[in-house]
Chains A and B, each alone.
Chain A
Amino acid sequence: MSGKPIYVDFAGYTENVPASIPAAVQLATSRLAGGRAARVAELPEWEDLRQIASDIRSHTVEHIDAYLTKFEQNFTAAGGQIHFAATDKDACQIVTDIAKEHGVKTAVKSKSMATEEIGLNDALAKAGIQAIETDLGEYIIQLAGTGPSHILAPAVHLKKEEIADIFSDKLGVDAPPDPQQLTRIARETLRAKFLQADMGISGGNFLIAETGTLVMVTNEGNGRMVSTMPDLQVVVVGFDKIIPDWESLTIFLKLLARSATGQKMSTYTQFITGPRRSDDEGGPKEFHIVILDNGRSKILQDPIGRDVLKCIRCSACANNCPVYQNVGGFAYGWFISGPIGAIYTPQILDTQAARELPFASTLCGACGDVCPVKIPIPNILRHLRRRVAEGDEFAGTSMPASIRAAAGVTSFALSQAWLYRLGSKILPTVTSIVQPYPLSRWTKIRPLPAFSAKFRGWWKSRKDGTK
Chain B
Amino acid sequence: MTNPVLENIRRSLGRTDRSPVGLRPAIYVPRQPKTVDAEISLFFAELEKLAGTGGRVAAAEIAAKLAALVETQEIRKATLWHTPLIEKLGIEKILRTLGVELIPENAPKAELALCDLGITEADYILPETGTLVLHASADMPRATSLLPRVHLALTTPDMLRPDLHQVFAEGKHNNYMVFISGPSRTADIELTTALGVHGPKDLHVWMVGYL
User: What residues make up the interface of A, taking CB atoms closer than 8 Å to B?
Assistant: 27-28, 31, 45, 48-49, 52, 55-56, 59-60, 62-69, 78, 84-86, 134-137, 140, 153-156, 159-160, 163, 179-180, 182-184, 186-187, 190-191, 194-195, 210-211, 213, 219-222, 224-225, 228-229, 239, 244-251, 253-254, 263-274, 276-283, 291, 293, 297-301
10 A–B contacts, CB within 8 A, in A order: A66-B15, A153-B191, A159-B190, A187-B198, A246-B168, A246-B169, A250-B30, A254-B164, A264-B46, A278-B138
| Segment touching A, from B2-10, B66-74, B84-92, B115-123 | B2-10
How distant is the Cα of A160 from the Cα of B196 in the complex, in angstroms? 18
Q: Using Cβ atoms and an 8 Å threshold, which residues of chain B touch A282?
A: 109, 136, 141-143
How distant is the Cα of A242 from the Cα of B179 in the complex, in angstroms? 20
B165 at the binding interface (Cβ < 8 Å): yes
Contact B175 A66 (CB under 8 A): no
Contact B141 A281 (CB under 8 A): yes
| Segment touching A, from B20-28, B32-40, B56-64, B95-103 | B20-28
Contact A211 B172 (CB under 8 A): yes
Q: Would A268 and B175 be within 8 Å (CB), given that A84-B3, A220-B185 are in contact?
A: no
Q: Within the complex, what minimum Cβ distance (angstroms) separates A430 from chain B? A: 50
Contact A283 B187 (CB under 8 A): no
How distant is the Cα of A348 from the Cα of B26 in the complex, in angstroms? 31
Q: Which of A84, A211, A224, A299 contacts B173 (CB 8 A)?
A: A211
B181 at the binding interface (Cβ < 8 Å): yes
- Residues 107 to 131 of chain B near chain A (Cβ within 8 Å): 109-110, 113, 126, 128-131
* B107: nearest chain-A partner, CB-CB: A280
Most A CB contacts (10 A, CB to CB) among B126, B179, B180 go to: B179
Q: Would A250 and B27 be within 8 Å (CB), given that A220-B185, A264-B181, A267-B182 are in contact?
A: yes
Q: Within the complex, what minimum Cβ distance (angstroms) separates A271 from chain B? A: 4
Contact B175 A31 (CB under 8 A): no
Contact A228 B192 (CB under 8 A): no
Contact B22 A63 (CB under 8 A): yes
Q: Which of A134, A239, A283 contacts B198 (CB 8 A)?
A: A134
How distant is the Cα of A266 from the Cα of B181 in the complex, in angstroms? 7
How distant is the Cα of A63 from the Cα of B22 in the complex, in angstroms? 8
Contact B22 A59 (CB under 8 A): yes
Contact A283 B142 (CB under 8 A): yes
Contact A225 B181 (CB under 8 A): no
Contact A221 B138 (CB under 8 A): no
